[in-house]
Amino acid sequence: MPYPKGHKVKVRNHILDSAAQAFRKNGIRESSVPSIMKGAGLTHGGFYSHFESKEQLIAETCSNIVNHTIDILQTVALEENTESKFDAVINYYLSPYHRDHIEGGCIIPTLSGEISQSSEEIREIFSQELDRFIEFISDIAGCDKSTGGVVLSIMIGSLILARGVQDPVSSDNILAAGRTHAMNVLHSNSAR
């Protein structure tokens, strides 16, 4: 009996979802194809009927996660009525919720340290996705790309450090300082 129409796409999406969770939680190196397939409820043998390589899976997963993160941040900005839309984006990105929910959060902080040791193909995809994220930040903040890159660097660095420290008070303080400094960079740039 043949599979129903759309079955292959549905299975592929399950694999991408499993990879997204694995990469966010464990990084690329610690996420094996067999464990990703198991997370999707599939056997390892079926992987190559959906992807040519782990690199292809990483590339598509990174792109999907950046899309997802941008979609969430756009929704946060659109729902904001009382403060600047970009302040709302910063407040969400550097929130305890985002810090504590790695499995559904931005992948850039998780993979940044690992990417420099990855293949050229993966570094190229990561660079493209990072550039796309900087463009999103710059557009929503109404600033040039250089300033958008600085603000995003503050956001990502603050999130990495907040996730890394053990003391909850220190972690909250890092998030608060990141929010303050990211907003200060943006607001001082717009005052010029």
Query: Residue 84: its pLDDT value, please?
Result: 83
Region of 27 please: left (phi>0), alpha (psi -120 to 50) or beta. left
- Quote the pTM value: 0.86
pLDDT digits (tens, 9 = 90+) for 151-184: 999 999 999 999 999 999 999 999 999 999 999 9
Counting beta carbons within 10 angstroms of the beta carbon of residue 20, is it exposed (0 to 12), middle (13 to 18) or buried (19 or more)? buried
The total number of structural domains in the chain stands at 1
Residue 37 resides in a domain: no
Q: Is residue 182 part of a domain?
A: yes
Domain containing residue 178: 55-190
Q: Which pLDDT does position 2 carry in this prediction? A: 56
pLDDT band of 192, cuts 50, 70, 90: low
Q: Do 89 and 159 meet the contact criterion of CB atoms below 8 Å apart?
A: no
- Name the pLDDT band for 75 (thresholds 50, 70, 90): very high
Structure tokens belonging to residue 141: 């903040």
| pLDDT higher than 70, residue 3 | no
80-89, 106-115, 170-179: lowest mean pLDDT where? Answer: 80-89
CB-CB neighbours of 5 under 10 Å:
8
Position 49 in a domain: no
Could you tell me if 165 and 174 are in contact, meaning their C-beta atoms sit under 8 angstroms apart?
A: yes
Q: What is the arithmetic mean of pLDDT over 99-112?
A: 89
**Amino acid (one-letter) located at 179:** R
User: Residue 118 falls within a domain, yes or no?
Assistant: yes
- N-term to C-term CA, the chain: 67
Q: Tell whether 10 is covered by a domain.
A: no
Q: What pLDDT is recorded for position 1?
A: 52
Tell me whether residue 143 is in a domain. Answer: yes
Cα 33–118–58 angle (5° rounding)? 40
* pLDDT for 12: 87
Look over the chain and give the mean of its residue pLDDT values, rounded to a whole number. 89
pLDDT score for 33 = 92
pLDDT of residue 190: 62
State mean pLDDT over 91-117.
90
- For the stretch 19-62, pLDDT in tens is 999 999 888 889 999 999 999 888 888 888 888 989 899 989 98
CATH code of 162's domain: 1.10.357.10
